[in-house]
Amino acid sequence: MHRKLEARIVNDLLGSTLPLPSYATDGSAAMDLRACTTEPVTLVAGGRTLVKTGLAINMMDPGLVAIVASRSGLSLKHGVRVAQGIGVIDADYHGEIAVILANDSQDDYIIQPGERIAQLMFQPVVQVSLHLVDQFSTDTDRGEGGFGSTGKQ
Protein backbone atom coordinates (compact mmCIF):
# COMPACT_ATOMS: atom_id res chain seq x y z
CA MET A 1 0.00 0.00 0.00
CA HIS A 2 1.25 3.48 -0.86
CA ARG A 3 1.56 6.23 1.72
CA LYS A 4 -0.49 9.21 0.53
CA LEU A 5 0.96 12.69 0.97
CA GLU A 6 -0.06 15.94 -0.63
CA ALA A 7 1.58 18.52 -2.84
CA ARG A 8 -0.44 21.50 -3.96
CA ILE A 9 -0.44 22.08 -7.68
CA VAL A 10 -1.73 25.26 -9.28
CA ASN A 11 -2.76 24.87 -12.88
CA ASP A 12 -3.82 28.41 -13.73
CA LEU A 13 -1.05 28.39 -16.30
CA LEU A 14 -2.65 25.40 -18.01
CA GLY A 15 -6.07 26.79 -18.54
CA SER A 16 -8.21 23.84 -19.57
CA THR A 17 -5.88 22.50 -22.25
CA LEU A 18 -3.91 19.86 -20.31
CA PRO A 19 -4.95 17.36 -17.67
CA LEU A 20 -3.29 17.34 -14.28
CA PRO A 21 -0.57 14.70 -13.94
CA SER A 22 -1.85 11.44 -12.54
CA TYR A 23 -0.62 7.91 -11.95
CA ALA A 24 -1.40 5.69 -14.95
CA THR A 25 -1.82 2.58 -12.78
CA ASP A 26 -1.92 1.67 -9.08
CA GLY A 27 1.67 0.44 -9.41
CA SER A 28 3.01 3.60 -11.08
CA ALA A 29 5.82 5.36 -9.23
CA ALA A 30 5.64 8.57 -11.28
CA MET A 31 3.24 10.85 -13.10
CA ASP A 32 3.80 12.13 -16.63
CA LEU A 33 4.58 15.81 -17.16
CA ARG A 34 3.38 17.39 -20.40
CA ALA A 35 4.70 20.21 -22.55
CA CYS A 36 2.58 23.32 -21.99
CA THR A 37 3.15 25.04 -25.30
CA THR A 38 0.84 26.51 -27.89
CA GLU A 39 3.17 25.68 -30.78
CA PRO A 40 5.50 22.75 -31.49
CA VAL A 41 9.03 23.25 -30.11
CA THR A 42 12.06 22.06 -32.07
CA LEU A 43 14.75 20.43 -29.93
CA VAL A 44 17.74 20.46 -32.27
CA ALA A 45 20.08 17.48 -32.53
CA GLY A 46 22.68 17.73 -29.75
CA GLY A 47 20.82 20.68 -28.21
CA ARG A 48 18.98 21.51 -25.01
CA THR A 49 15.81 23.46 -24.33
CA LEU A 50 13.65 24.45 -21.38
CA VAL A 51 10.06 23.21 -21.68
CA LYS A 52 7.41 24.62 -19.37
CA THR A 53 4.74 22.32 -17.96
CA GLY A 54 2.18 24.90 -16.93
CA LEU A 55 2.16 23.45 -13.41
CA ALA A 56 3.21 25.46 -10.39
CA ILE A 57 3.95 23.59 -7.18
CA ASN A 58 3.55 25.09 -3.71
CA MET A 59 3.60 24.07 -0.04
CA MET A 60 4.93 20.58 -0.56
CA ASP A 61 5.40 18.42 2.54
CA PRO A 62 8.85 19.37 3.98
CA GLY A 63 9.82 15.69 4.12
CA LEU A 64 9.56 15.29 0.33
CA VAL A 65 11.48 16.07 -2.81
CA ALA A 66 9.96 15.99 -6.28
CA ILE A 67 12.17 14.28 -8.86
CA VAL A 68 11.85 14.98 -12.59
CA ALA A 69 13.07 11.98 -14.60
CA SER A 70 13.27 11.01 -18.25
CA ARG A 71 10.60 8.96 -19.96
CA SER A 72 12.21 5.70 -21.06
CA GLY A 73 10.42 5.49 -24.41
CA LEU A 74 11.37 9.05 -25.36
CA SER A 75 15.00 8.33 -24.46
CA LEU A 76 15.17 4.98 -26.26
CA LYS A 77 13.27 5.91 -29.42
CA HIS A 78 14.36 9.54 -29.89
CA GLY A 79 17.40 10.20 -27.67
CA VAL A 80 15.50 12.85 -25.69
CA ARG A 81 16.17 12.91 -21.94
CA VAL A 82 16.16 15.17 -18.89
CA ALA A 83 19.40 17.09 -19.45
CA GLN A 84 20.92 16.95 -15.99
CA GLY A 85 20.05 13.30 -15.40
CA ILE A 86 17.29 14.14 -12.95
CA GLY A 87 15.71 17.38 -11.86
CA VAL A 88 15.33 18.11 -8.16
CA ILE A 89 12.43 20.22 -6.88
CA ASP A 90 12.99 21.10 -3.24
CA ALA A 91 10.08 21.20 -0.80
CA ASP A 92 10.47 24.96 -0.39
CA TYR A 93 10.40 25.72 -4.13
CA HIS A 94 7.30 27.65 -5.14
CA GLY A 95 6.86 28.13 -8.85
CA GLU A 96 6.34 26.59 -12.25
CA ILE A 97 7.86 23.22 -13.01
CA ALA A 98 9.96 23.39 -16.17
CA VAL A 99 12.02 20.58 -17.67
CA ILE A 100 15.44 20.92 -19.28
CA LEU A 101 15.45 18.43 -22.15
CA ALA A 102 18.52 17.32 -24.12
CA ASN A 103 18.54 15.67 -27.54
CA ASP A 104 21.33 13.09 -27.79
CA SER A 105 20.31 11.98 -31.28
CA GLN A 106 21.55 13.21 -34.65
CA ASP A 107 18.05 14.32 -35.64
CA ASP A 108 15.96 17.29 -34.53
CA TYR A 109 12.99 16.31 -32.37
CA ILE A 110 9.68 18.17 -32.47
CA ILE A 111 7.95 18.47 -29.08
CA GLN A 112 4.22 18.72 -29.65
CA PRO A 113 1.91 20.77 -27.40
CA GLY A 114 0.63 18.51 -24.62
CA GLU A 115 3.21 15.79 -25.32
CA ARG A 116 4.39 13.75 -22.33
CA ILE A 117 8.00 14.87 -21.88
CA ALA A 118 9.14 13.67 -18.43
CA GLN A 119 8.02 11.98 -15.23
CA LEU A 120 7.41 13.48 -11.79
CA MET A 121 8.10 11.32 -8.74
CA PHE A 122 7.94 12.20 -5.06
CA GLN A 123 10.50 10.76 -2.64
CA PRO A 124 11.17 11.12 1.09
CA VAL A 125 14.18 13.23 2.09
CA VAL A 126 16.74 12.61 4.80
CA GLN A 127 19.05 15.53 5.59
CA VAL A 128 22.49 14.49 6.81
CA SER A 129 24.99 16.46 8.90
CA LEU A 130 28.55 16.24 7.59
CA HIS A 131 31.43 16.11 10.08
CA LEU A 132 35.07 16.61 9.15
CA VAL A 133 37.39 13.93 10.61
CA ASP A 134 41.11 13.27 10.27
CA GLN A 135 40.63 9.71 9.02
CA PHE A 136 38.09 6.92 8.90
CA SER A 137 38.13 3.17 9.10
CA THR A 138 38.47 1.05 5.97
CA ASP A 139 37.85 -2.11 7.96
CA THR A 140 35.06 -3.49 5.73
CA ASP A 141 34.70 -6.40 3.33
CA ARG A 142 35.61 -4.00 0.54
CA GLY A 143 38.43 -2.26 2.40
CA GLU A 144 39.96 0.50 0.31
CA GLY A 145 38.80 -1.13 -2.93
CA GLY A 146 37.19 1.27 -5.33
CA PHE A 147 35.72 1.01 -8.80
CA GLY A 148 35.17 -2.63 -9.78
CA SER A 149 36.65 -3.99 -6.55
CA THR A 150 33.70 -6.31 -5.87
CA GLY A 151 34.04 -8.07 -9.24
CA LYS A 152 31.71 -8.49 -12.18
CA GLN A 153 29.49 -11.30 -10.95
Q: Which residues are annotated as a binding site?
A: 71-73, 84, 88-90
Annotated binding site for substrate: 71-73, 84, 88-90
Edge to edge, what strands does the sheet with 116-124 contain? Answer: 31-34, 116-124, 64-69, 87-89
In whole angstroms, how large is the CA radius of gyration of the chain?
19
Q: Where are the beta strands (DSSP E) in 1-153?
A: 8-10, 31-34, 41-43, 48-58, 64-69, 80-82, 87-89, 95-103, 109-111, 116-124
Q: Contact 111/41 with Cβ under 8 angstroms?
A: yes
Do residues 68 and 87 lie in contact, with contact meaning Cβ atoms separated by under 8 Å? Answer: yes
